[in-house]
Amino acid sequence: MGVSIQATVDPKALADLSKVLSRLQKETRRGAAQSVTYAALKIAQSARRLSKPSKKNRESITNPKYKQAKESFAWAKRQRKAGKAIPAAAAAKLNDLNSLTPFLIVRERQGGRPAIMMPSYEKKDPRRLIENKGLAKKVWNVMVGKLGSLKTGFGTRNGQRYKVSKYTDGPNAVARIINKLSYSEKAYPGITTRAITAGVDGLNGMMDRKVKSAVDKANRGK
Amino acid at 111: G
Residues contacting 91, CB < 8 A, separation 6+? 76, 80
User: What's the CA angle centered on 192, arms 194 and 52, to 5 degrees?
Assistant: 75
Q: What is the mean pLDDT of each run of 10 residues along the chain (222 residues)?
A: 61 89 87 88 92 80 79 74 77 66 79 77 82 82 91 89 89 87 75 91 90 76 60
Sign for the pseudo-dihedral over CA of 150, 156, 158, 162: positive
User: Same domain for 142 and 210?
Assistant: yes
Domain of residue 194 covers 2-53+134-219
**What residue type is 71 in one-letter code?**
E
- Give yes or no: residues 148 and 202 share one domain: yes
From 54, 24, 51, select the one nearest 37 (Cα to Cα).
Answer: 24
Write down the pTM of the prediction: 0.64
Residues 98 and 41 reside in one and the same domain:
no
What's the angle, vertex CA 3, arms to CA 188 and CA 206, rounded to 5?
80
> How do strand 59-62 and strand 103-107 relate by DSSP bridges?
antiparallel
The whole-number pLDDT of residue 84 equals 80
Among the candidates 128, 163, 187, a domain finishes at 128
Both 119 and 152 in one domain: the answer is: no
Question: Of 95, 110, 128, which closes a domain?
Answer: 128
Instruction: Quote the number of domains for the chain.
Output: 2
- Of 1, 2, 6, give the one whose Cα is nearest residue 163: 6
Q: What's the confidence (pLDDT) of residue 213?
A: 82
Task: Tell whether 122 and 138 lie within a shared domain.
Answer: no
Say whether both 138 and 214 belong to one domain. Answer: yes
In 3D space, the residue among 2, 1, 7 whose CA is nearest the CA of residue 185 turns out to be: 7
